[in-house]
Amino acid sequence: VATAPYSPQAFLGLGISLERLGHREDARRALQKVILLAPQDPLASAARKRLADMKADPPSPNPRSR
């Protein structure tokens, strides 16, 4: 992201990685950035879906247990 601050693909990858690590708030911000950068891009659709999935799936007490 540091080398591509306007890349929706970079922010999508960051958001997915952060979510997997259990950093849900940071993941949410990265995914929202994808939507801001490219609202009509299919990557934005993927980000919207992940955000919806995150809302539907509350965080586990131990994020590493997944």
For residue range 12-29, list pLDDT tens digits in order. Answer: 999 999 999 999 999 999
63 or 28: which leads in pLDDT? 28
pTM of the model: 0.82
Give Cβ neighbours of residue 60 (< 8 Å, ≥ 6 apart).
66
Mean pLDDT of the chain: 89
Distance CA 41, CA 45 (A): 7
Q: Check residue 58 and report its DSSP letter.
A: P
The proportion of the chain whose per-residue pLDDT surpasses 90, expressed as a percent, equals 73
Burial of residue 6 (CB within 10 Å: 0-12, 13-18, 19+) is exposed
